[in-house]
Amino acid sequence: MRIIETEAYTFDELNDTAKERARQWWREGSFDYEWWDAVYEDAVAIAKILGIDINTKDRNWVNTSTGKSGTVKETCIYFSGFSSQGDGACFEGYYSYSKGWKKKLKAYAPTDKALFDIGEDLQAAQRTAQWSAHASCKNVGHYCHSGCMEVGVDWEEGANKEGEAYEMVSIIKQCMRDFADWIYKQLEAEYDYRNEDEQVDETILANEYEFTEEGVMI
């Protein structure tokens, strides 16, 4: 056995090249937890306003240290990202008309035009269906983008003309996919934010990591 001594540096003490190496180390291992939880929570709340109930499912967990196990509720939003063709997000859930959605959305997200556009389109479609249209959404295939969502639309009465019914169904399907795309954009924005140098530096400093002079974590 031999003892090797090495000098330890705080992040602030590193030169620019070493700092960038330290940042890269952090980025490579920093997303092994559910960093998207806040985005999911926000998406579920907004979906509810628009009339979409996003499903949950039970997920089993086991603590290997204590041997304890149990189940937790997992939100049925799925995504892959963020730099490959085919990346995106989708969800599983059920949609029906949400009375008073516009007032609620103005209170929750007053400046998000994309969400208001979805709401307006859904309202127009529901007007055709005399407010009775509903839809179910589920993920199919091996990918997670909005195009992989299977959206089934039904209604009790309303669109008596075949052309009107077809347009109403098409609008609702597109709205569900537009909302999935909106979720993906929020996930991408959160991911990019967490990868910004300023945020990475702050996290490294807060955790008081130490490095070699070259920026290798000790």
Where does the pLDDT of residue 65 fall: very low under 50, low under 70, confident under 90, or very high at 90 and above?
low
Reported for 127-132, long-range contacts at CB under 8 A and 24+ positions apart, including other chains, are 128/158, 128/159, 128/164, 128/165, 128/167, 128/168, 129/155, 129/156, 129/157, 129/158, 129/159, 129/168, 130/155, 130/156, 130/157, 130/158, 131/97, 132/97, 132/156, 132/157, 132/158
Total-model pTM: 0.85
The pLDDT score that the predictor gives to residue 67 is 64
Where does the pLDDT of residue 156 fall: very low under 50, low under 70, confident under 90, or very high at 90 and above?
confident
How many other CB atoms sit within 10 Å of the CB of residue 153? 20
DSSP string, 13-41: GS-HHHHHHHHHHHHHHTTSS-TTHHHHH
Rounded to whole angstroms, the Cα distance separating 2 from 161 reads: 85
Q: Is the pLDDT of residue 76 over 60?
A: yes
Where does the pLDDT of residue 161 fall: very low under 50, low under 70, confident under 90, or very high at 90 and above?
low
Distances (CA, A) of 16 to 11, 13, 25, 28, 192: 10, 10, 14, 19, 21
Share above pLDDT 90 across residues of the chain, in percent, rounded to a whole number: 72
The pLDDT score that the predictor gives to residue 29 is 80
The pLDDT score that the predictor gives to residue 160 is 57
Rounded to whole angstroms, the Cα distance separating 5 from 21 reads: 21
Q: Is the pLDDT of residue 166 over 90?
A: no
Q: Is the pLDDT of residue 2 over 90?
A: no
Which residue, among 98, 99, 101, 80, has the nearest Cα to 89 in the 3D structure? 80
The pLDDT score that the predictor gives to residue 18 is 96
The pLDDT score that the predictor gives to residue 59 is 75
The pLDDT score that the predictor gives to residue 60 is 72
Q: Is the pLDDT of residue 103 over 90?
A: yes
Q: Comparing 3 with 134, which gets the higher pLDDT?
A: 134
CA atoms within a 13 Å half-sphere pointing along the CA-CB vector of 54:
24
How many other CB atoms sit within 10 Å of the CB of residue 74? 14
